[in-house]
Amino acid sequence: MTSTVESNTVDTAPAPAATAARLHDPAVRGFASDNYSGVHPEVLAALAAANGGHQVSYGEDDYTARLHQVMEEHFGEGIECFPVFNGTGANVLSLQSLLPRWGAVICASTAHINMDENGAPERIGGIKLLQVPTEDGKLTPELIDKEAWGWGDEHRAQPLAVSITQTTELGTCYTPEEVRAIAEHVHSKGMKLHMDGARLANAAAHLNVPLRAFTRDAGVDILSFGGTKNGLLFGEVVVALNPESAHGLIYLRKMNMQLASKMRFMSAQFIALLDGGLWLRSARHANAMAARLRAGVESIPGVELSQKTESNGVFAVLPAGVADRLRQSFRFYDWNEAAREVRWMCSFDTTEDDVDSFIAAIKHELAAG
């Protein structure tokens, strides 16, 4: 006697493609943030290519292994890299790995970790931030020394690391020599150096040097490598450039809820970005659009440029009321509302027409009074 057992095999053939409803107008453009842009088509293609079949989860996949090789091509052998979900996670994770529980981090008062992460370094990382005011967002050895003191004092959080941002929150860029001077100064005092590289590619495009020239070769111990602002869907990478200085990253990533199960999709994006010239092409374009915007507004009466344009951002002061009127057509953010200072950001997909239309709108509003 034979029995028939009903098969429980799942049909994995793709279903007919459904037409997705587009909920936004792709013709609407803005200058608020490079996070507003979509995903670069080459990155989307890489995600599709990484799909299908089974790959080991939590980073034991072929794409994450390849990502490590690609990172070594840019930064040299002996590094370690840890993909994470976002920039806040990358920064907190990096800083935690450098410090004991009693450690503190010196940073610029304008630093993203201080101004824009809702207390995550303090609340999640348990890290005291020692803030230093700067004129252009950049730290120097002399500025660092304003908070680099008090070692051995049980009443003071111990300054054991410094965090710098490349490019800075004000759009300025550290040269390799400036980073090296900071690293040498920091290390001479027994501290370690973290770099928040949310716009690292824009810095390389501006400096016209390889990524390692102002990171590993300049003495940076650990790096938060940004991808979202340069055309990725999501994801950043913590790169331990000096693994001896960073401890417990493999455990801290999980503790901080930054360990992706399907990590191949994070890694595939960075491979598409870095295994070739996409990262630099996109950053150069964004920088060029910011330079075009600056050149177009610097001669307009009433526009006062407030920072150097060394990446993909332009900072300016406008007469009262102008910014609000402009925002009816182009979205952008106030940087210092009291000073009427605004920030205009360009992206990999900003076009010359976008920039020229915005310049025309600025001229129109200023002429209207």
CB contact at 8 A, 121 and 162? no
Single-letter residue type at 303? V
CB 234, CB 74: distance < 8 Å: no
- At 234 the three-state DSSP class reads coil
Q: Which two tokens stand for residue 17?
A: 């493609």
User: Positive or negative CA dihedral for 356, 359, 365, 367?
Assistant: negative
- pLDDT of 12 higher than 70: no
The predicted-structure confidence for 296-324, as pLDDT tens digits, reads as follows 999 999 999 999 999 999 999 999 999 99
7 band by pLDDT with thresholds 50, 70 and 90: very low
Q: What is the mean pLDDT of residues 169-191?
A: 98
In the predicted structure, residue 23 carries a pLDDT above the cut 80: yes
Task: Look at residue 368 in the predicted model and tell me its pLDDT.
Answer: 83
Q: What pLDDT sits at residue 352? A: 98
CATH topology of domain 41-274: Aspartate Aminotransferase; domain 2 (3.40.640)
Name which of 236, 224, 159 is nearest 191 in CA terms.
159
Structure tokens at 229: 């602002």
- Whether pLDDT at 369 is above 90: no
Half-sphere exposure of residue 301: CA atoms within 13 angstroms, side-chain side: 3
CATH architecture of 278-368: Alpha-Beta Complex (3.90)
CA distance 302 to 172: 23
pLDDT of 17 reads 58
Percentage with pLDDT > 70 across the chain: 95
Residue 168 has pLDDT above 60, yes or no: yes
Question: Sorting pLDDT into bands at 50, 70 and 90, what band is 2?
Answer: very low
Residue 16 — very low, low, confident or very high, per pLDDT cuts 50/70/90? low
Fill in the amino acid letter for 188.
S
Pairing outcome for strands 103-108 and 158-165: parallel
Q: Tell me the mean pLDDT in the region 126-152.
A: 97
pLDDT of the residue at 19: 72
Q: Is the pLDDT of residue 56 over 60?
A: yes
For 116-136, write each residue's pLDDT tens digit.
Answer: 999 999 999 999 999 999 999
Q: Nearest to residue 94, comparing CAs of 229, 192, 14, 177?
A: 192
The residue type at 342: V
Shortest CA distance to 306 belongs to which of 132, 171, 203, 174? 171
DSSP 8-state code for residue 113: H
The full set of domain ranges for the chain reads 41-274, 278-368
pLDDT at residue 18, rounded to an integer: 63
| Residue corresponding to tokens 């799909």 | 51
Burial 285-312 (b: 16+ CB within 10 A, else e): bbbbbbbbbbebbeeeebbeebbebbbb
Split at pLDDT 50, 70, 90, the class of 253 is very high
Confidence (pLDDT) at 327: 95
Per residue in 221-239, pLDDT tens?
999 999 999 999 999 999 9
Under the banding of pLDDT at 50, 70 and 90, the label for residue 185 is: very high
The pLDDT value given to residue 3 = 45
| Least-confidence region, from 6-20, 53-67, 339-353 | 6-20
pLDDT at res. 5? 43
